[in-house]
Structure 1
Amino acid sequence: MNKYQSQIKSICFLAWPAVVQEAMNVVVSYVDTAMVGALGANASAAVGLTSTVGWLVSSIAIAFGIGILSVCAQAIGAKDEKKVQRTGQQALFLTLIVGIVLTVICVIIAPYLPAWLNGDKAIRATASLYFMIISLPLLFRSAVLILSSALRGVSDMKTPMLINLYMNLINIVLNFVLIYPTRQVFGITIPGAGLEVKGAAIATAISFVVGGIMMFVRYYNNQIFAFSKSGFHFYKTEFKECLTIGIPVVLERGVICLGHVTFASLIAKLGVVRFAAHTIAIQAEQAFYIPGYGFQTAAATLVGNAIGQKSEHKVKEVTYLISGITMFLMIICGITLFVFANQLMSIFTPDLQVIELGARVLRIVSISEPIYGILVILEGTFNGMGDTKAPFIFSLITMWGVRVCGSWLIINVFNQGIEAVWIMMVLDNITRCFLLARRFFKGGWKYRLNS
C-alpha cells in the first residue's frame, strides 16, 4: 500500500462515523419535516420560522466545541498527554457555562421571536411555543455538541455517532406517538397524543435530554481524560487557549446564523407559501451536505495533528486529499439534486405549489454543491489549525455584503422572487470559498506552525 492509499484509508477511518452521523441527522430532519409538513403549510412555516435561530444556538455550542477539538488534536500531534487531559476537562466547564446562558436567553426571547422575524400572525403562537419547548433542555443539547467535540479531538468518532443514532431513534418514535392522534394503520390501532407541532417539539426536547446524559457518561469514562484518577479541574491556560480559538468561530457562526435569520425574515415577507418552500428546500438540501460535513471533522482532526507536529507539508497534503475526495462526492450529490428536485420536495409536502417552487430553487443551488463541499473542508482545515479569525472576517463580508444586502435589494428594489434570492445565497458561498482558498494558498495560516 503506497503512502497516499494509507492516508486515504486513515481519512476515511476518521470520516465514516461522522458521515454516518450526518446521514442519520438528515434522515431524522427529513422525517420531522415530512411529519410536520403533512399538517399543512402553516405548520411547516411555524417550525421553519425559528429554525435559523435554532441553528444559531446550536452553532454557538459547536463553535466552543471546535476550540476543544483543535487544542486536543494539536496536543496529540505534539504527543503532550498532560495537555490533552487538561484540555478535555475544560469541555465540561464550557458545557455548563454555554448551556445555562443559552437556555436563559432563549426562554426569555421565545414569546417575541416570531414577531421579530416577520412571521405571519397566523403562525406566531405555534412558532413561539415550538421554540420555547426545544429551548428548555439546551444544557443537555450543549453537552451533546461540546463533549462530542472533545471526544473527536482524541479521535473517538464512533461514540458521538452512536449517541446521535440513539437520539434520532427516540425522536422518530416519539414523533409518531406525539404528533398525530390515535389512528388506524393497516387495521392496527396506533396510539397518539395528537399534539401536532407541540408534539414534534416535545419529542426533540426529550431526545436532547437523553443524548446529553449519555454523552456525559461516555465523556466521563474516557480514559484519555483520566477523570477517575484526577477528577475535574479548571486549568486557566488551556481554557483560555480553547476560548482564543473558539470565540472567533462563535462570532463567525453568529454572523452566518444571524445572516440566515435576516435572510429568512426577508423571505418571510414574500408570503407563507414561498416561505414554506424555502424552509422545506433548505431541509431537503441537507442530505447533499453529508460528504462535506462528514469529512470536515476528519480534516479538522488531522490538520490539528499536523500543526502539533509542525508539519506544513502534512497540512497541505491532508487538505488537498480531503478536498479532492469531497469534491468528487459533491459533484455526484449536485447532479442527483438537480435531477430529482421535484421528487425530493414531494417527500415533505403534498402542496403542489410549494413542491414546484422548492424544486426550482434546489436546481439553482445544485450547481454550486462541489464548491460548497470545498468551502466546508477549508473551514474544517482552518478550525483544526486554530486559525479562526480570518474565516470570521470572510464570513462577515460575504454573508452580510453578498447574501443579506443582495437579497434586500432583490426583494425590495428589484421586486424579484425567491429564485433570485437563492442565487444570492449561492454567490455568498462561492465568494467565501474563494477567500478561504486564497488564504490557504498564500500561507496566511503558517504562523500557527510556530505558535
Structure 2
Amino acid sequence: MENIMKNINQRKEMIISICALAWPSIVEQALQTTVQYVSSAMVGRLGAQASAAVGLTTTVNWLINSPSFAMGIGVLSYISLCIGAKKFEKAKIAAIQSIIITFILGIIMGIATLSITPFLPKWLGASSEIQRDASLYFGIICFPMLFRVATIVFGAVLRSTGDMKTPMKVNLIMNITNIILNFLLIYGTETIDIGNFKLTIYGAGLGVAGSATAAAISYSISGCLMFFALYRNKLVSPKGKKIKLNIPIMKRCISVGFPITIERVVTCLGQVVFSSLVTRLGTLAFAAHSIALTAEQAFYIPGYGMQASASTLAGNALGERNEKKLHQMSVTILGIAVVVMTITGTILFIFPNVMMSIFTKNPVVVKSGSSALRIVAVSEPIFGALIILEGIFNGVGDTKTPVFVSILSMWGVRIVSTFICISKFKLGLNAVWICMVADNIFRFTILFIRFLRGTWKRKLSL
C-alpha cells in the first residue's frame, strides 16, 4: 500500500512539473496563433486573392525556419542534458555556440531568401493575379532574417534551462506589436461612427505589404529581446566569456540538429510541392486550404506547448541517468496530450464553420474549408501523440530514425497520394486533407512502435 501511495505521489509531482513547464509554452503558442488569426482575418478583409497571396508562401516560411528550429533543438538537447548532469559550465559554452549559429545562419538564410523572392510565386505555380503581392510579402518578412533566427534559437536555449516564461513574455510583446502595426499599416484612413460621434482612424493603406511590414518589425523586436534575455539567464549567460568556437560541443549540437535540419528542409520542400499541387484546384480552393491550415493551428496549441516540456524533461532525466523517470515522464505527458487534444479535436469537429468565418465571408471558401477541418479534427489525438513523441526523441538527442520516418511519410504518403488524387482522379480539397491525415497516422504508428521497443533510451555521454 505504501508503494502504491508513493507511486501516486510521484505521478502527481510529475504532472505538476509537466504542467508548470507546459503552460507558458501553451500560452506562447496561443499568442502566436492569435496573432496569425488576427493577421489572416485582417488580410482576409482585402479579399480571397490577398489571402491566397499571403498563404502561398506559408510552407516556404516553414522551410526557411527549419534550420533555425533544428539547431535550436540541437542546443536544447545538449544544454538540458548538461543541466540534468549539473555540468553548468558546459551549458554556458553551448549557449555561446548558439550565438555563433544564430549569426552565421541568419546571414546565410537572409541572403538566400531575398535572392529567390522575385521568382518564388511563379515557381509555386501561383496565378498571375497574386504573384506580385506574394513576392512582396515574402521579401519583406525575410528581410530581418537574423532576428527571426535569434528568436527561435535563443528561445530554445532559454527553454532548455526550464525558463518557459521569458519566451512567452517576449512573444506577448511581439504579438501585441504585430497586431497594432497590422491595424495601422494594412488599411487606409477610415471614419467610424460611434453613436453621435465620428472617430477617424488613420492608416497607411499598404494592404498585403502592410501586414508583412508589421511582421518584420515584430520579428526584429523579439530577436533583440531574446538576446538580452539570454544574457540575463544565470544558467547559460555568456556574460564575461569570449564568444568563440568550441568544436566538440558545436559538433555535438550539430550532430543532433543536422538530421532535423535535413528532415525539415526535405519535408518542407514536400510542403512546397504539396502546396503547388493544391494550387491546381484554383484560387478559391487554395484560399480555403490556406485559411483552414491557419484555423487548425489553434487546436494543436496544447500539443506543441507540451512538446517543449517533453524535450526539456526528457533531456534532464537522461542527464540524471534516471531511465525510470524518463519512462514515467514520457508516458504521463503522452496521456495528457491525447486527452487534451481529443477535447480540442471534438470542438473543431463541431464548430468548423465558426472558425472559417473568422477569416473570410466568402461562402464557397467557408464551406470548402469547414469540410476539410472536420476531416482533420478526427485525427487530432493521434497528431497530439505524434508531437509529443517527436519532442521526447529530440530531447534525448535521438533524431535519426524519426527524421527518416518523417521524410518517407511526407514524400511516400502525402505527396504521392495527393498527386494521384488531384492529377489522376481529379478529386477536390477533401481528398487532399485525407492525404494529410494519412501522413500523420503513418508517422505516429512507426514512432509509437519505436517508443514501445525502448531502443531510444540510450545512454549519451557529455
Query: So what's the TM-score if we normalise by structure 1?
Result: 0.98
Question: 2:342 aligned with 1:331, yes or no?
Answer: yes
Question: 2:76 aligned with 1:59, yes or no?
Answer: no
CA contact (8 A) 1:98 1:139 kept: yes
Secondary structure of 2:426's counterpart equals coil
Alignment gaps of 5+ in structure 1: none
Question: 2:407 aligned with 1:404, yes or no?
Answer: no
Question: 2:201 aligned with 1:184, yes or no?
Answer: no
Q: In the TM superposition, what is the alpha-carbon distance from 1:418 to its structure 2 partner? A: 0.8
Match of 1:131 in 2: 138
Equivalent residue in structure 2 for 1:378, among 366, 386, 389: 389
1: distance between equivalents of 2:288 and 2:427? 16
CA distances 1:190-245 after superposition (whole Å, capped 9, x unpaired) = 11000000000000000011111111111122222242232323211111100000
Match of 2:356 in 1: 345
CA contact (8 A) 1:11 1:322 kept: yes
CA contact (8 A) 2:181 2:214 kept: yes
Equivalent residue in structure 2 for 1:42, among 42, 49, 67: 49
Match of 2:457 in 1: 446
RMSD value over aligned CA atoms? 1.1
CA distances 1:12-53 after superposition (whole Å, capped 9, x unpaired) = 111111000000011001001100011000000000001110
Match of 1:28 in 2: 35
Equivalent residue in structure 1 for 2:240, among 214, 218, 229: 229
CA contact (8 A) 1:114 1:124 kept: yes
Question: 2:24 aligned with 1:13, yes or no?
Answer: no
CA distances 1:147-176 after superposition (whole Å, capped 9, x unpaired) = 110111111111110000000000000000
2: distance between equivalents of 1:439 and 1:311? 20
Q: Percent identity?
A: 48
2: distance between equivalents of 1:82 and 1:325? 34
Secondary structure of 2:255's counterpart equals helix
Q: In the TM superposition, what is the alpha-carbon distance from 1:59 to its structure 2 partner? A: 2.3
CA contact (8 A) 2:389 2:448 kept: yes
CA contact (8 A) 1:334 1:368 kept: yes
Equivalent residue in structure 2 for 1:302, among 292, 295, 313: 313
2: distance between equivalents of 1:28 and 1:59? 21
Q: In the TM superposition, what is the alpha-carbon distance from 1:282 to its structure 2 partner? A: 0.1
Equivalent residue in structure 2 for 1:276, among 273, 281, 287: 287
Equivalent residue in structure 2 for 1:119, among 109, 126, 134: 126
Equivalent residue in structure 2 for 1:166, among 173, 194, 199: 173
Q: In the TM superposition, what is the alpha-carbon distance from 1:449 to its structure 2 partner? A: 4.7
Equivalent residue in structure 2 for 1:424, among 423, 432, 435: 435
1: distance between equivalents of 2:78 and 2:349? 40
2: distance between equivalents of 1:220 and 1:226? 5
Equivalent residue in structure 1 for 2:260, among 249, 255, 269: 249
Q: In the TM superposition, what is the alpha-carbon distance from 1:309 to its structure 2 partner? A: 1.4
Equivalent residue in structure 1 for 2:446, among 405, 419, 435: 435
Q: In the TM superposition, what is the alpha-carbon distance from 1:311 to its structure 2 partner? A: 2.0
Match of 2:270 in 1: 259
1: distance between equivalents of 2:99 and 2:269? 27
Question: 2:224 aligned with 1:217, yes or no?
Answer: no
Q: In the TM superposition, what is the alpha-carbon distance from 1:441 to its structure 2 partner? A: 1.0
1: distance between equivalents of 2:186 and 2:164? 32
Secondary structure of 2:203's counterpart equals strand
1: distance between equivalents of 2:262 and 2:454? 23
1: distance between equivalents of 2:417 and 2:61? 24
Question: 2:113 aligned with 1:106, yes or no?
Answer: yes
- The aligned amino acid for 2:314 is V
1: distance between equivalents of 2:371 and 2:266? 27
2: distance between equivalents of 1:303 and 1:138? 30
CA distances 1:91-111 after superposition (whole Å, capped 9, x unpaired) = 100100111111011000011
2: distance between equivalents of 1:226 and 1:265? 44
